[in-house]
Amino acid sequence: MKLLKLFSAIILTIHLSGCGEFFSSEVYVTGKVGEVVVVCDDAIWKSSIRSDIDSNLTRFIMPYFPDVATFEPVHYNKNNFVGAAKRHRNILFLTIDPNHKGNKGKIQYRNSVWATNQLVIEVVAKDYPQLVETFNSGADNIHSKFDYQEWNRIRKHFASKQNQNINNQLKQNFAIHLDFPNASKIVSSRKNFYRIELPLSSRPIEFVGDSKQDLGAVLSGVMVYQYPYVDSSQLGIDQLLKARDTMLKYNVPHETPGLYMGTQYNDFVYPEFSETSNFSKTIDGVELRGMFEFKGRYRYSTGGAFWSFHFVHPKTEKIVCVSGYVDAPSTTSWTHAIREIQAIWKSVTIV
């Protein structure tokens, strides 16, 4: 009898979990990085608010080419929002509730509702015009919340499985800590320059007009380098790019003799610069986003995206740069790989 009761309890637990109604700290999010599930009636999805959703959620991480969208909205109605869909990483409810009181709608934010590190946002309004107004007035904050959760979720995942060898070497040579995937490896180490490769991954290549898919390798990694800090002018975009190009020329050669990694300066993808901080807001610095290419004896066709964070180390009095790169086919999405790079440089701390 006891055995029968135990078996029944296990079956019930599995059933509830499959229906998305059971939650524990061991339930992980589903869905792809860069997706937001939008739960609303079909009529709402097909209305004019759809263009507002697209424009406010599908914001691009500039200046990459091909375009890298922060999010892609995916529609579910209440009938098909069941099972694993409820454990999706990012969920946005658009709800019309005739019983809602007040002249303004409301936006509610909830974490880890059906899965660990999940973010659920609900926009509630008494009617359709109020729903549109509430969503649009809060769109910047909605996007910001999803954006933060996306890279921070990856950072937490990397931090849960530390690579002790990389930790020790970064501490010894740069006096910093970074959260890397456990299978990462140091492929180049010099006194002031390290290059660390992330585990090789594959993403589906999508062919326009063809439903078939193939696999494309996504090569990514992070370079960490440092040089003496003299004055604040070194943190301007021109000086940072000059230092970057010098470091890359002598430390990142291509397998083809005479070629080395450099920065693309085409107006269309010219590097962008902004002030920012690490995840804990204990380190202020500047970020650079742009495209790299291989230069040297002749122009080489391959290249990709980079995203870097530069700051003055308070103990060593050196400028430290954490610069991630992604080299992938243009026919596959870069969103996941770019978000991993962002999560790594955001994780930097002083040790």
Report how far residue 323's alpha carbon sits from residue 318's, in angstroms, rounded to the nearest whole number.
16
In a domain, 245, yes or no: yes
Task: List, in order, residues 6 or more apart from 134 with CB less than 8 Å away.
Answer: 104, 105, 106, 107, 123, 124, 125
Confidence of residue 274 (pLDDT cuts 50, 70, 90): very high
Instruction: Grade residue 201 by pLDDT with cuts at 50, 70 and 90.
Output: low
Is the pLDDT confidence value at 298 over 90?
A: no
Is the predicted pLDDT of residue 23 greater than 80, yes or no? no
- 13 has a pLDDT exceeding 50: no
Radius of gyration of the chain (CA): 23
Distance between CA atoms of residues 241 and 234, nearest Å: 10
Same domain, 60 and 117: yes
From CA 278, how far away is CA 61, in angstroms rounded?
Answer: 18
Q: Are residues 213 and 328 in the same domain?
A: yes
For 337, residues 6+ apart whose C-beta sits below 8 A from its C-beta are 201, 203, 218, 220, 326, 328
3-state class of 26 per DSSP? coil
Q: Are residues 125 and 260 both part of a single domain?
A: no
What pLDDT is recorded for position 299? 58
Task: Please check whether residues 143 and 176 belong to one and the same domain.
Answer: no
pLDDT at 64 over 90: yes
In this structure, the number of other CB atoms found within 10 A of the CB of residue 223 comes to: 22
Domain termination residue (choose one: 158, 177, 211): 158
Structure tokens at 221: 């990694």
Query: 108 pairs with which residues across the strands?
Result: 122
- 270 CB-contact burial (10 Å; exposed 0-12 / middle 13-18 / buried 19+): middle
Q: How many domains does the chain have?
A: 2
Domain finish residue from 124, 158, 192:
158
Same domain, residue pair 105 and 186: no
Q: Is the peptide bond before 63 cis (omega within 30 degrees of 0)?
A: yes
Are 90 and 117 spatial neighbours (Cβ–Cβ below 8 Å)? Answer: no
pLDDT in tens, 75-118: 999 999 999 999 999 999 999 999 999 899 999 999 999 999 99
Let me know the angle formed at the C-alpha of 68 by 67 and 69, rounded to the nearest 5 degrees. Answer: 110
- C-alpha distances (whole Å) from 74 to each of 21, 55, 293, 316 are 21, 14, 34, 47
When mean pLDDT is compared across 6-20, 122-136, 153-167, 324-338, the lowest value belongs to 6-20
CB 321 within 8 A of CB 309: yes
Domain that holds residue 204: 163-350
Which tops the pLDDT comparison, 331 or 143? 143
Residue 162 is predicted with a pLDDT of 85
In a domain, 8, yes or no: no
Residue finishing a domain among 139, 158, 177? 158
| Average model confidence (pLDDT) across the chain | 88
Same domain for 146 and 62: yes
Q: Which residue has the higher pLDDT, 277 or 66?
A: 277
Using DSSP's 3-state secondary structure scheme, residue 14 falls into helix
Q: What is the CATH number of the domain that holds 69?
A: 3.30.379
What pLDDT, on a 0 to 100 scale, did the predictor assign at position 331?
75
3-state secondary structure 44-57: HHCCCHHHHHHHHH
Residue of 250, 268, 269, 270 whose CA lies nearest to 260: 250
Q: Which whole number is the average pLDDT over 256-269?
A: 86
pLDDT at position 206 is 39
Q: Chain centroid to CA 114: how far?
A: 21
The CATH code of the domain that includes 332 is 3.40.1000.10
pLDDT of the residue at 21: 41
User: Is the pLDDT at 168 greater than 90, yes or no?
Assistant: yes
- Per-residue confidence band for 270, with pLDDT thresholds at 50, 70 and 90: very high
- 168 and 153 housed in the same domain: no
Q: Give the bridge partners for 189, in sequence order.
A: 194
Residues 68, 182 share a domain: no
Q: What confidence category does residue 297 fall into, taking pLDDT thresholds of 50, 70 and 90? A: low
Contact 207, 199 (CB under 8 A): no
Which pLDDT score is estimated for 318? 98
* Region 5-22 average pLDDT: 38
CB atoms within 10 A of CB 141: 12
CA 207 from chain center: how many Å? 24
